[in-house]
């Protein structure tokens, strides 16, 4: 189901110099803010709440994770459609499911590589000296799972539309940050809500410290469902992919 | 070699449209081993046809079969089929050798390294194979793309404008390579908008104009059709009227017209007229200052074939 040549090629393609520098710089942001929070925190501040609800939930899960997954998820296959090299990959006797799963694996590992390190560093800096109560562990597991859901969705988008980056940005910033905030019922269609719900499974904290929008079981079930659905859509779209006039 | 074989490529009533635009219109042909040139002006539908043969476009109507199988939605087909796309793009971070090697590995060839070395030798790119392909010239990129497409020794090789960017020496070399492959029993189909390329390489030719198959078959026959079509020449001479009176008596000429100090001559026999005109002028003591055909663009040649 996974082709090692595709994995190797995609890693080399994704981790080009500019993209890696950009993502590394972006990953530093939550860590720098965590340092600022610690430096400016006074004795009245609840460091557990700052760690879970601000640094990890807002900065890492709300911003760094979807943005990183969007960059790697849409680039894993999307750049090959743009520059015309997809023809070389698709003119080989490889099942389209293998292509999609190999690309998904690379996008996921690249996203986890960036986001997990940032989440661990930012979480541990902010909460240093306080009881963790599963906060850092929960968000670590949450971002690993959330990365997979986002990447599966964005890889599908990159096959289905040539404007995957714009559609992905609209999903993250309009749907997840505005629409989901306004209408509680649509939370089941928010990858961010799944990530937070999975993270909360591992935490033993009061609601004032962190409260997820979805129960753990519901979050896990929807995450698995969306991964399976978008991967299936991606395989289907790739099987029907047609070369463009300019390709 | 003499055994009758079923056609390697069979195209039956194939059309392809994009919304209201018809790119390929009800084309039928079949091809066997050898080299076939897909000739036509830019935008005629050659690439659309090749992409349908390669399984990268689904026919809107009709059927495309290569080696007896449908190519659309059939990745297994690529074990026996190779494609050289027109776009120059290669993975810029790979060397030429790595590019071909990764193709061999994606084909799961048992000895990918040996197949890679052989393919690169065939396109004569050994000297540059360890350089990053992003820095290759246009001709080098074409050759490395061809090496990658033939690394698995396909039975059918499709090439979209393969001589673009190649210098004359590389062009001859590529032509020789394709001839060798054809003599090994492979089926080669290449597209070109340059008549001379097709003339030098292809045994059979398919002329596509405005999405329709304008002519097909032996190149010499089609070339004759192109040459014997009606031609119009504009002639400027010392005495246009006297020359017109004499030319109209020549059997190769079927019409003359005097206009604005020039003479327009219509002929159905290109070669006979060009031989006759000088003698007619000499006998009538007329000097010819200028003689030029008015409609020699490839497009006009093609549109004549369509109207036939």
Helices (H), chain A: 4-14, 17-40, 47-49, 65-83, 86-90, 96-127, 135-160, 164-169, 180-182, 191-201, 216-239
In this predicted model, what pLDDT tens digit does every residue of B155-192 receive, in sequence order? 999 999 998 878 888 888 889 999 999 999 999 999 98
Lowest mean pLDDT among B103-107, B270-274, B297-301: B297-301
**Nearest residue on chain A to B92, alpha-carbon basis:** A13
Instruction: Flag whether pLDDT at B196 surpasses 90.
Output: no
CA distance A216 to B216: 67
Nearest C-alpha in B relative to A12: B93
Quote the minimal CA–CA distance from B118 to chain A in Å. Answer: 19
Q: Which of A120, A165, A147 is nearest to A66 (CA)?
A: A147
pLDDT at residue A247, as a whole number = 38
β partners of residue B21: B18
Of A3, A93, A245, the CB nearest to B76: A93
User: Are B103 and A92 inside 8 Å of each other by CB?
Assistant: yes
Q: Which residue has the higher pLDDT, A7 or B135?
A: A7
Cβ–Cβ < 8 Å for B107, B152: yes
Over residues B266-270, the mean pLDDT reads 82
Q: What is the pLDDT of residue B14?
A: 96
- Beta strands B34-39 and B204-209: pairing type? parallel
- d(CA B174, CA B158) in angstroms, rounded, equals 14
Instruction: Check CB contact under 8 Å for B93 and A5.
Output: no
Report which of B84, B59, B212, B45 is spatially closest to residue A242, judged by C-alpha positions. B59
Distance from the Cα of B301 to chain A's closest Cα (Å) equals 25
State the total domains in chain A.
Answer: 1
> Tokens for B118?
């052989």
Task: Please spell the DSSP secondary structure of B47-95, one letter per residue.
Answer: HHHHHHHTTSS--SEEEEEETTEE-TT-GGGGGSEEEE-SS----TTSB
A88 contact residues in B (CB cutoff 8 A): 90-91, 103, 148
Q: Give Cα separations from A182 to A175, A176, A179, A222 (angstroms).
A: 10, 10, 5, 20
* pLDDT above 50: residue B1: no
B58 close to A (CB below 8 A): yes
The confidence band for B272, taking pLDDT boundaries of 50, 70 and 90, is: confident
- Smallest Cα distance from A145 to chain B, Å: 30
Predicted pLDDT of residue B186: 94
Greater pLDDT, B224 or A59: A59
For residue B101, with 0-12 CB atoms within 10 Å meaning exposed, 13-18 middle and 19 or more buried, which class applies? buried
The partner residue sitting opposite B85, judged by closest CB among A87, A92, A245, is A87
- Asked if A242 and B56 come within 8 Å (Cβ–Cβ), the reply is yes
Which residues on A lie below 8 Å from B52 (Cβ)? none
CB of B93 within 8 Å of a chain A CB? The answer is yes
Instruction: Spell A88-117 as b/e; 16+ CB within 10 A means b.
Output: bbbbbbbebbbbbbbbbbbbbbbbbbbbbe
Instruction: Indicate the SS3 state at residue A97.
Output: helix
Which of A22-36, B216-230, B275-289 has the weakest average pLDDT? B216-230
Please report where in the chains the tokens 């006759």 appear, as a residue. B276
pLDDT-based confidence at residue B98 (cuts at 50, 70, 90): very high
Per-residue pLDDT 10s for chain A (247 aa) are 899 999 999 999 988 778 888 899 999 999 999 999 989 888 777 889 999 999 999 999 999 999 999 999 999 999 999 888 999 999 999 999 999 999 999 999 999 999 999 999 999 999 988 899 999 999 999 999 999 999 999 999 999 998 999 999 999 989 998 999 888 888 899 999 999 999 999 999 998 899 998 999 999 999 999 999 999 999 999 999 998 754 3
Domain that holds residue A40: 4-246
Gap between the Cα atoms of B54 and B85, Å rounded: 10
What is residue B233's predicted lDDT score, i.e. its pLDDT? 87
- Token pair for A85: 């090299």
Tell whether B77 lies on the interface with A, counting CB pairs under 8 A: yes
Q: Across the interface, do B81 and A91 touch by the CB < 8 Å criterion? A: yes
A5 contacts in B (CB within 8 Å)?
A: 102, 105-106
Q: What percent of chain B has pLDDT over 90?
A: 52
The pLDDT-based confidence of B215 (bands split at 50, 70, 90) is: confident
> Do A13 and B91 make contact, defined as CB atoms within 8 angstroms?
yes
| DSSP letter (8 states) at residue B129 | T
Q: How confident is the model at residue B307 (pLDDT cuts 50, 70, 90)?
A: low
Question: Taking a C-beta distance cutoff of 8 angstroms, is the pair A227, A155 a contact?
Answer: no
**How much is the mean pLDDT over chain B?**
88
* Residues in chain A closer than 8 A to B76 (CB atoms): 93
Report how far residue A5's alpha carbon sits from residue A9's, in angstroms, rounded to the nearest whole number.
6
Q: Which of B173, B190, B199, B210 is nearest to B82 (CA)?
A: B190
Q: Give the distance from residue B262's alpha carbon to the nearest chain A alpha carbon, in angstroms.
A: 44
The model scores a pTM over 0.80:
yes
- Among B210, B215, B241, B242, smallest CA distance to B226 is for B215
pLDDT of residue B54: 95
Angstrom distances, CA of residue B46 to CA of B25, B51, B138, B160, B246? 12, 9, 21, 8, 45
Higher pLDDT, B77 or B200: B77
CB B245 within 8 A of CB B292: no
pLDDT of residue B220: 72
The reply to whether residue B56 touches residue A83, judged by beta carbons under 8 angstroms, is no
Separation of alpha carbons B222 and A9, rounded Å = 46
Best A86, A89, A91 member to test B by mutation, with max B CBs in 10 Å, is A91
HEC-encoded secondary structure of A1-69 = CCCHHHHHHHHHHHCCHHHHHHHHHHHHHHHHHHHHHHHHCCCCCCHHHHHHHHHHHHHHHHHHHHHHH
φ/ψ (deg, to 5) at A209: -80, -50
End-to-end CA distance of chain A: 28
Interface test with B, best of A92, A237, A239, A244 (most B CBs within 10 A): A92
How far, CA to CA in Å, does A11 sit from each of A4, A180, B9, B194?
Answer: 11, 34, 37, 40
Taking the CA of residue A106 and the nearest CA in chain B, the distance in Å comes to: 17
Confidence at residue B271, expressed as pLDDT on a 0 to 100 scale? 78
Residue B296 pLDDT more than 60? no
Q: Which residues of A touch B (CB under 8 A)?
A: 3, 5-6, 8-9, 12-13, 16, 83-85, 87-96, 239-240, 242-243, 245-247
B99 near B90, Cβ under 8 Å?
A: yes
What are B112-124's pLDDT values in tens digits? 999 999 999 999 8
> Cβ–Cβ contacts within 10 Å for residue B117, how many?
18
Would you say A244 and A174 are in contact if contact means Cβ atoms under 8 Å apart? no
**Which two structure tokens, joined as six digits, stand for B55?**
């399984």
Which residues of A fall within a CB distance of 8 Å from B72? none
CB contact under 8 A, A91 and B89: no
Nearest CA in chain A to B83: A91
């Amino acid at each position: 189901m996974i082709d090692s040549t595709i994995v190797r090629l995609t890693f080399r393609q994704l981790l080009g110099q500019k993209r890696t520098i950009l993502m590394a710089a972006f990953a530093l942001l939550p860590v720098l803010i965590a340092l600022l929070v610690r430096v400016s925190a006074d004795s009245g501040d609840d460091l557990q709440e700052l760690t879970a609800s601000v640094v990890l939930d807002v900065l890492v899960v709300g911003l760094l994770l979807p943005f990183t997954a969007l960059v790697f998820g849409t680039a894993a296959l999307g750049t090959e459609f743009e520059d015309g090299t997809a023809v070389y990959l698709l003119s080989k006797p490889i099942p389209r499911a293998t292509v999609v799963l190999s690309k998904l694996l690379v996008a996921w590992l690249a996203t986890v590589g960036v986001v997990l390190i940032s989440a661990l560093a930012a979480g541990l800096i902010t909460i240093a000296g306080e009881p963790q109560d599963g906060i850092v562990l929960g968000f670590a597991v949450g971002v690993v799972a959330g990365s997979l859901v986002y990447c599966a969705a964005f890889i599908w988008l990159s096959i289905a539309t040539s404007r995957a980056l714009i559609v992905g940005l609209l999903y993250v910033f309009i749907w997840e940050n505005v629409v989901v905030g306004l209408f509680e019922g649509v939370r089941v269609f928010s990858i961010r809500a799944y990530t937070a719900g999975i993270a909360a499974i591992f935490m033993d904290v009061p609601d004032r410290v962190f409260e997820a929008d979805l129960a753990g079981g519901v979050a896990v079930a929807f995450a698995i469902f969306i991964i399976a659905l978008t991967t299936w859509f991606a395989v289907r779209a790739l099987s029907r992919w047609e070369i463009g006039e300019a390709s | 070699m003499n055994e009758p074989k079923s056609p390697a490529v069979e195209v039956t009533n194939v059309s392809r449209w994009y919304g209201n635009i018809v790119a390929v219109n009800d084309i039928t042909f079949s091809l066997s081993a050898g080299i076939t040139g897909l000739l036509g002006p830019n935008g005629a539908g050659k690439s659309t046809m090749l992409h349908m043969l390669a399984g990268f476009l689904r026919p809107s109507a009709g059927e495309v079969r290569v080696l007896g199988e449908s190519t659309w939605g059939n990745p297994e087909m690529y074990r026996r089929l190779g494609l050289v796309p027109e776009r120059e793009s290669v993975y810029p971070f790979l060397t030429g050798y790595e590019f071909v090697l990764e193709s061999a590995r994606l084909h799961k060839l048992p000895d990918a390294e040996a197949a890679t070395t052989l393919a690169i030798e065939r396109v004569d790119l050994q000297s540059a194979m360890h350089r990053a392909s992003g820095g290759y010239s246009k001709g080098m990129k074409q050759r490395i793309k061809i090496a990658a497409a033939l690394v698995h020794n396909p039975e059918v090789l499709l090439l979209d404008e393969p001589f673009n960017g190649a210098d004359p020496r590389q062009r001859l070399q590529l032509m020789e390579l394709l001839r060798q492959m054809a003599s090994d029993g492979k089926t080669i189909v290449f597209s070109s908008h340059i008549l001379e390329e097709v003339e030098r390489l292809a045994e059979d030719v398919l002329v596509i104009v405005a999405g329709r198959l304008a002519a097909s078959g032996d190149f010499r026959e089609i070339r004759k059709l192109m040459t014997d079509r009606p031609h119009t020449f504009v002639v400027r001479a010392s005495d246009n009227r006297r020359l017109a009176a004499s030319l109209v008596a020549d059997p190769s000429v079927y019409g003359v017209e005097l206009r604005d100090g020039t003479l327009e001559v219509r002929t159905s026999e290109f070669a006979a007229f060009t031989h006759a005109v000088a003698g007619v002028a000499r006998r009538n003591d007329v000097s010819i200052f200028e003689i030029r055909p008015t409609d020699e663009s490839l497009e006009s040649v093609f549109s004549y074939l369509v109207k036939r």
